[in-house]
């Protein structure tokens, strides 16, 4: 939900609030053949997974600057979210037919997410008329999920049984998005 304000002739501001959901499934599968661990020829197989599903509150602002030139405008978007969800992590380490480590973990937590975008938009009524205006846009988009990577790592050597640590790295998505938007009134 949002409300558009026009504080200037060529500037538009739109605060908005809503709901955001995310399902993120990360898998890591590595096979090592003929490893040289203590002069052996073990065939190792490591499988790790980090699955997250959550939902929460999202709020932000969109800003548009009309260039007053053939329907072109520049825009910027920014928002933040707090998601409540569940992590399910899994770690399996095998060598030949022996299992060295096999651990599963499940926990609930909150995650912060930041989103931003910068782009250009072209608004036209020439193609479908004034009842169905079209917008063509291109933008650079970024999303950052804080402490999203909860993959477990097995740390051990030949002198101890080892231990597990959680990696707590951030996960980012970015790229160019192109789109077309059709507006109409019901």
Model pLDDT for residues 86-129, shown as the tens digit of each residue: 999 888 888 777 777 788 889 999 999 999 999 999 988 888 87
Q: How many CB atoms lie within 10 A of CB 148?
A: 22
DSSP 8-state assignment for residue 119: E
Provide the residue ranges of all domains of the chain, joining segments of one domain with +.
11-135+148-182
The residues of the chain scoring below 70 in pLDDT are 34-42, 154-162, 185-186
Q: 123-137: buried (b, 16+ CB within 10 Å) or exposed (e) per residue?
A: beeeeeeeeebbebb
% of residues, the chain, pLDDT over 70: 87
How is residue 9 written in tokens?
């002739």
């Amino acid at each position: 939900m949002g409300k558009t304000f026009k504080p200037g002739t060529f500037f538009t501001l739109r605060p908005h609030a809503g709901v955001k959901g995310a399902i993120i499934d990360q898998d890591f599968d590595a096979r090592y053949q003929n490893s040289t661990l203590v002069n052996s020829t073990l065939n190792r197989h490591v499988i790790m997974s980090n699955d997250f599903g959550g939902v929460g509150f999202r709020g932000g602002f969109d800003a548009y600057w009309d260039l007053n030139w053939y329907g072109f405008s520049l825009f910027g978007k920014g928002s933040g979210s707090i998601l409540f969800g569940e992590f399910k992590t899994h770690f399996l380490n095998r060598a030949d037919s022996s299992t060295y480590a096999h651990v599963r973990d499940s926990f609930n937590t909150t995650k912060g997410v930041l989103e931003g975008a910068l782009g250009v938009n072209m608004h036209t009524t020439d193609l479908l008329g004034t009842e169905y205006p079209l917008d063509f846009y291109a933008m650079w988009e970024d999303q950052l999920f804080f402490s999203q990577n909860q993959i477990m790592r097995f740390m051990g050597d030949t002198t101890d049984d080892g231990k597990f640590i959680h990696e707590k790295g951030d996960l980012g998505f970015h790229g160019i998005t192109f789109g077309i938007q059709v507006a109409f009134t019901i």
